[in-house]
Structure 1
Amino acid sequence: MSKTVAKAVHVLETLAAAPKTIAELARELGVHSSTALRMLQPLADGGLIARGPDGRYRLGFRLVELGQQVLEEMDLRAVARPHLIALADATRSTVHLAQLVDGQIVYVDKIDGAASIRTWSRIGRAVPLHTAAASKVILAALPAERRDRLLSAHAFTRYTERTITDETEFRDHLAEVERLGYATDQAEFEPLVHCIGVGIPDATGQLAAAVSLTTVRADADLPELERLLGQVRDTASAIAAALGRSAS
């Protein structure tokens, strides 16, 4: 990195901590005030910094615009895929990545595990809102108004004897999902198919995606399913970190 670029980065990092006068910035950079002013001018011209009414410089709105563009162009599937593959290999189970897209929760990736049988899910297919573990954790984290919009247009179809078909009961179920921080699908859509899902927060802390792990067996053994929770959580955390989410 050139000295000029390094100093520009230093300016931005300094102003991110607090607005500063030209004299304060000059002291921070170890240069004369006139030199500091020349360094700041290109940043100000580009909208990366701005001078407030109090004479102090602060970060500019252009940085917000650029940051938002980075977030919008971040390809969740590309970022998540190596972590999904690692989870599928470690557990020999099928792993799904689901995302809220244009008012629908859809499967955006799927890694078939070595010990799995073929399941209904397909990449690009809408997730059954009231049965899938991945959709439950996303719904539980949504603002109430947005969640209500999705559920009001949803048909609570019965697929198995375990399917929750009552909307009020399902909303209570989502409250429990929010409390626990994960969701399960215990043969609620397909017989023998059991899933556990964890949400993936993005860099802003919003949760609009989830990773789920699918096992196929005759009994709905919840303790056995929850035994895999730690690995699913680790995967969700790794994807979140790759998306720029700081560890909390």
Structure 2
Amino acid sequence: MGTQILTSSLKTLEVLAALADEPRGVGASELARRIGGSRGYVHRQLVTLCAGGWIEQAEDGTYRLSLRVSRLSDAAFTQAGLGHRATAVLEELAAKLDETASLAVLDGDSARIVQRVEVDRLLRVDARIEARMPISDTASGRVLTAWALPHDLDALREAGVATAKDEELERIRRDGFAVSLPNPREPTVAVAAPVFDTRRRVLAALSVVGPTVRFDAEAAASAVVAGAARVTALVSGRG
């Protein structure tokens, strides 16, 4: 006889999956209707998940995923070896543009580099793996917030995290890429494009960065967008 399945755990995962499908949260009654359970039972599941920090309740009474869930997607990204599988794309981009190529994910209130390929140049950018970058002015951070789910972006702003303005994020989505803002303390410029999961939700940002004295980020944008599309294909199994 096989090990007995915990149906309560399956129901909890079903609740999380249902919340993930909602861009702006959902009430307990509506959620119970969608997953086929009593309101009281689903409400207890929601209260338990709130206590664990996996979801949060908005002022209007609806429930939504918390940013803590991003740790799971980040871990899945790492454990599934997607950073490793994207290395070939990063290597090609780094060789083609002769600059450092990186892959970053949203981690709490910042963008964190999970994979990087450098070029052997005398003047190069120090972009260490696990390095964290602000999301308001870096190319990767602006991409990750431009395509973030609305309630995730709202949660960041409610927590006091600086982000690009809505009109800037709209322009980034329209262009399909983002360029970093000037930083007098760091004379570099980067361009980034989004990598999507199978549901077309942003999973990571692929970027190339180089010193402003030689790197034309706007000119490199098409190559970076194409590279991000290739990594998206790898994620969906088409690569």
TM-score, length basis structure 1? 0.58
Q: Report the number of matched residues.
A: 164
Between the two proteins, what is the percent identity of the paired residues?
A: 20
Verify the 8 A CA contact 1:96 1:213 in the aligned structure 2. yes
Kindly tell me: are residues 83 and 175 of structure 1, through their superposed partners in 2, closer, same or farther at Cα, counting changes over 3 Å?
Answer: same
Match for 1:94 among 100, 107, 129? 100
User: What is the alpha-carbon distance in structure 2 between the residues aligned to residue 207 and residue 121 of structure 1?
Assistant: 22
Within the candidate set 125, 129, 132, 2:135 is matched to: 129
Q: Confirm or deny: 8 A CA contact 1:91 1:113 kept in the other structure.
A: no
State how far apart, in whole Å, the 2-side matches of 1:232 and 1:179 are. Answer: 15
The TM-score with structure 2 as length reference comes to: 0.60
2:165 counterpart residue number: 170
Which of residues 85, 109, 120 in structure 2 aligns to 1:114? 120
CA offset digits 1:149-203 (Å, max 9, x no partner): 22333554xxxxxxxxxx6x63321121122111001423744211110000122
Does residue 232 in structure 1 map to residue 238 in structure 2?
A: no
After superposition, the C-alpha distances for 1:75-101 in whole angstroms (9 at most, x for unaligned) are 221111111011101111011110124
Query: Out of 183, 189, 200, which is 1:188 matched to?
Result: 183
Is the 8 Å Cα contact of residues 124 and 210 (structure 2) preserved in structure 1?
A: no
* In structure 2, C-alpha distance between the alignment counterparts of 1:177 and 1:92, rounded to whole Å: 24
Distance change >3 Å, CA 153–CA 120, structure 1 → 2: farther
Displaced runs of 4 or more, over 4 A = none
* 5+ residue gaps, structure 2: 1-72
**CA offset at residue 209 of structure 1?**
0.3
Matching residue of 1:6: none
1:206-225 alignment, distance < 5 Å: 206-218=201-213, 224-225=216-217
> What code does the residue aligned with 1:135 have?
G
When residues 138 and 155 of structure 1 are mapped into structure 2, their CA distance, relative to the original with a 3 A threshold, is closer
Aligned alpha-carbon RMSD (Å): 2.8
CA drift at 1:147: 0.9
d(CA) in 1 for partners of 2:132, 2:160: 12
Per-residue displacement from partner, 1:118-143 (whole Å, max 9, x unpaired)?
54532112221111101111101111
- Cα distance change on mapping 1:187 and 1:114 into 2, 3 Å: farther
Partner residue in 2 for 1:81: 87
8 A Cα contact 2:179 2:192, kept in partner: yes
Helix, strand or coil for the counterpart of 1:127? strand
Q: Select which of 211, 233, 239 maps to 1:241.
A: 233
* Residues 78, 174 of structure 1: alpha-carbon distance in 2 compared, 3 angstrom cutoff: same
Closer/same/farther in 2, CA of residues 134 and 149 from structure 1, 3 Å limit: same
Supply the distance in 1 between the matched residues of 2:186 and 2:159 (Cα, whole angstroms): 25
Amino acid at match of 1:113: V
Note if 1:202 corresponds to 2:208.
no
* Alpha-carbon spacing, 1:79–1:101, altered in 2? closer, same or farther (3 Å): farther
Q: Aligned in 2, Cα 1:182/1:189: closer, same or farther, shift over 3 Å?
A: farther
In 2, the alpha carbon distance for the partners of 1:146 and 1:116 equals: 40
Runs of 5+ unmatched residues, structure 1: 1-67, 157-166
